[in-house]
Amino acid sequence: MISFKGMRFPIDVILVCIRWYAAYPLSYRHIEEMMGERGVSVDHSTINRWAIRFLPMIEKLSRKHKRQVGTSWRMDETYIKVKGTWKYLYRAVDKEGKTVDFLLTAQRDMAAARRFFEKAMRENGAPTKIGMDKSGANRAAIDEINGGKAVPITVRQVKYLNNIVEQDHRAIKRLTKPMLGFKSFRAASNVLAGVELMHMIRKGQFAINPTDSSVAEQFYALAGLVRPA
């Protein structure tokens, strides 16, 4: 369970603010204004601290409810600006478009790709095959992993196979664009965990009762709390 002990604001205010930020193309100032219209005076910097603190906790809790993904993956990386510098968000989806996993890294090289693959396989099991672009670093990373396997993962470096993950990047970039760049790597990594979580909820990737609950209701359920009034 997530502890909200010591918070000056009610839990429902905190969860509404961070859900809006992770789910919609809004800035912290937009949410400050929207909450003000509802009679709640909260500074945008406070909402920023809530998002950085609580979104990765909720995403971590959600993993035990995540449905199993397929064994045929499509992997690629996209760019995220942090303190004016481009960083790299590694992502993979299965052939049905379900999110497998994600990882923000400072570098784009074999070591970063291997960290991503190892995280994804630790959380989701090993795939039977992976589609990727012509990146030598990504191929070298999976070749190293295959070196320790009795049954190697099949690698297909065919451009059209990655269309599905490249299209999926757009949903993430649409939300990060209004954020105007992150001020720290930690902030970027933590907020992106929330953005990815909301994206997975919309894709129906969590086993939550009732199954017909709304995106908002699923978010609150994954946070371990009932839906705020």
229 vs 87, residue with greater confidence: 87
Question: For 71-95, what is each residue's pLDDT tens digit?
Answer: 999 999 999 999 999 999 999 999 9
Chain position carrying tokens 């990765």: 56
Amino acid at 217: E
Residue 227: is its pLDDT beyond 60? no
Question: For 153-202, what is each residue's pLDDT tens digit?
Answer: 999 998 787 899 999 999 999 999 888 779 999 999 999 999 999 999 99
Helix (H, G, I), strand (E, B) or coil at 45: helix
pLDDT bucket at 210, cuts 50 / 70 / 90: low
Backbone angles phi, psi at 166, to 5 degrees: -65, -40
Question: For 105-114, what is each residue's pLDDT tens digit?
Answer: 999 999 999 9
Domains of the chain: 11-65+187-222 (no CATH), 72-186 (3.30.420.10)
- Which CA distances in Å does 129 have to 74, 92, 139, 151? 9, 12, 12, 11
